[in-house]
Structure 1
């Protein structure tokens, strides 16, 4: 494969997205473990991420228009700059602040980070359709970007937990901000000129899709990611931290908690990147795979309820969830680019990822609530119900043709 302009542009966008997602994963783990250590309840911990997800909904709704209006390059760079600012701002947190002040401050900073993430994501994933080498399979290139991104984000979970135990909260944030700023300067020089093209006639009202397939796919995505985050965001790390802390020092428990979550995301990303080799007929396969995922999750919920001491078995089951979920996610990421109109790629992608952010918001809120009500089994039971709703939306998508 020759490294033509399109491939170099794809590599530059991928590199920028990798750098961003490394800090995104690390930041989530830093915030979660730091404030759990400070005594925040599961519901309070979930609340810290609410504005992050709300910002994602709003940003995705408008990011497609912004990318069309101001260019993909400007949108991607704005996301990276805002993330650096968010990391530096969060380093100013003072543990002596009152709980209400702490929650408000962290929510605002997380909200800015949420805006940054979805600016970067919409620009990066839209660029794939424009930069992927022709005749080599769009599914392959979408899966490569998405899978590698998740592997890097998984490494970020480990980096965040290790930095918290090794250098502390504020120094970790300064280190990440410095590293991302250096990468931003390097990346700007390699972004292709084609990503700066603007559509001055793009209107904000055009972000809403009239394609029934995209609307049903967005609904399916909402429940799919809600089903992941309802157990992953708050329930899993608190449950695992509590399980490990009984037999080891807190710092080592941080390390192993972050390590497993990193392993889960990296494994999920690796399977996601290889999805094109194991599926055929994307829309039909997406329905089949989400039904398989619902069965896996229901069995895992029963295992966690009836045999709570089987920690290794439960963790193994969560890896199975990750593999099946990865295939589902990769299929969805391909379908949205396949269905997106040639003249409105960024707006269709932005609308679709608005639904993704909505699912993450719902899952994040429910993660704290369900864990507080019934622990990890309750969170997994809620995930099963969401997956069945996702399957219902995929059934309607197939009917829409």
Structure 2
């Protein structure tokens, strides 16, 4: 580790942000579902959030490379304070259409904030650890896994806040917390982190090379496959058909993401070594097959046992285990494939693909659930996973 202090500051900022990100998602989902919003309306509520994530990664990597990761991290935290503060002004007296439009607008700023912070924090690892592939995998996995554990707690935290303090007060509490973290970053983090002398043009953002292009394409369908069932379908199904309370729904999402984060942090040990070799690329394909198998088992179990809650929850937890391994290994690969003088742009390009996957997954989660229920979402997820495996296989082929 080259600079443990700066790694600690970046990690603490990322943790704090993702706590509020998870809490905000659950707050909005459960609050507006209780107000009678349909699954499609709930999905549309997050569309600008995801779309702005795509645009942020498009311009954010280029911006961070020119101005430095400190500046892009500060921008992300400041925008989150603004988004949370704005949402706290929502009034119950507003008409549903106005409320939906206002929340979509505020979520757009939260989406920009999320991907600026995410891109800045993950790229920073490239500059704060040694060039060893195994150490890069280790510290990337620790950051990614711990972040998701914190975000998982955020789902529970958001549901708990909503049940006990209401919508507006919960948002104010979170805005104050992020403002405190922002002040810490302004005072403690050095100013030149990740800034490079070369001034790539914006059009160079799309000139990433075959390996990164294929990895990004696989990422689109990997995260789309998760969000097809995760964003709207499962929480609404659990609340509407299994009659779970807000806190129970939030707790499931919390446990799922916390466990997911724990597996991500342990991925270097579970997957043994990572050395930047051809075997790493083949491992990405093999890991993708585990997701296809686990989702097939969930679909079969749901059909045979009529959505038995134990089988459904158990199957989704198994899926989460393999999804965590896939996600963590992908996060390592993008840093391994990136060159230091283009790291911010390469990571930005990769997470733009991630945001595109979330965008389509979110939209399909609402539409498929409205049209065909949870089963349609699970089948849609499996279709995306098959495409992920196909692309991952091409990553290992010679050209």
TM-score range normalised by the length of the shorter chain = over 0.9
From 263, 269, 274, the counterpart of 2:266: 274
Query: Residues 102-144 of structure 1, C-alpha deviation per residue, up to 9 Å, x if partnerless?
Result: 1111111101100000111111111000002454611001100
Shift of 1:199: 3.8
For residues 229 and 377 of structure 1, the distance between their equivalents in structure 2, rounded to whole angstroms, comes to 14
**8 Å contact from structure 1 (residues 301, 378) kept in 2:** no
CA distance in 2, matches of 1:392, 1:68: 32
Q: Residue 195 of structure 1 aligns to a residue in which SS?
A: coil
Shift of 1:343: 1.1
Cα distance, 1:97 vs structure 2? 1.6
Task: Show the 5 A alignment for 1:324-343.
Answer: 324-343=322-341
Q: Which runs of 5+ in 1 are unaligned?
A: none
Q: 2:68 aligns with which of 67, 71, 90?
A: 71
Task: Look up the SS of the partner of 1:343 in the other structure.
Answer: helix
Aligned 1:2-401 pairs, distance under 5 A: 6-133=3-130, 135=132, 137-195=135-193, 197=195, 199=197, 201-245=199-243, 253-279=245-271, 280=273, 281-400=279-398
Once the two structures are TM-superposed, the CA of residue 335 in structure 1 deviates from its matched residue by: 0.5
Deviations 1:331-356 (A, max 9, x none): 10001000012210000000010000
CA contact (8 A) 1:70 1:199 kept: no
Segments of 4+ moved more than 3 angstroms = 133-136, 196-200
User: TM-score, normalized by length of structure 2?
Assistant: 0.95
Q: For residues 271 and 367 of structure 1, do their structure 2 counterparts lie closer, same or farther at Cα, with a shift above 3 Å needed? A: same
Q: Structure 2: where are the runs of 5+ without partners?
A: 274-278
- CA drift at 1:241: 1.1
SS at match of 2:72: helix
For residues 224-263 of structure 1, give each alpha carbon's deviation from its aligned partner in whole angstroms, at most 9, with x where no partner exists.
0000000000001001112442xx7xxxx01111001000
Q: Is the 8 A contact 1:33 1:161 kept in 2?
A: yes
Residues of 2 paired with 1:75 and 1:143: CA distance? 22
Per-residue Cα deviation, 1:65-105 (whole angstroms, up to 9, x for no partner): 01011110000000000000000000111122222211111
Using the TM superposition, give the Cα deviation of residue 221 of structure 1 relative to its aligned residue in structure 2, in angstroms: 0.3
- The TM-score, its normalising length taken from structure 1, stands at 0.95
Whole-angstrom CA distance in 2 between matches of 1:379 and 1:196: 40
Deviation at 1:376, TM superposition (A): 1.5
Q: Matches of 1:102 and 1:209 in 2, distance apart?
A: 41
Give a deviation string over 1:342-372, Cα, whole Å, max 9, x none. Answer: 2100000000100000000000000011111
**In structure 2, how many angstroms separate the alpha carbons of the residues matched to 1:309 and 1:394?**
31
Distance in 2 between residues matched to 1:107 and 1:390, nearest whole Å: 30
Q: Distance in 1 between matches of 2:72 and 2:46?
A: 23
Compared CA separation, residues 196 and 141, structure 1 to 2 (3 A): closer
SS at match of 1:192: coil
Residues 8-33 of structure 1 show CA distances to partners (whole Å, capped at 9, x for unaligned) of 11111111000100000000000000
Instruction: Check whether the contact 2:68–2:191 (CA below 8 A) recurs between aligned residues.
Output: no
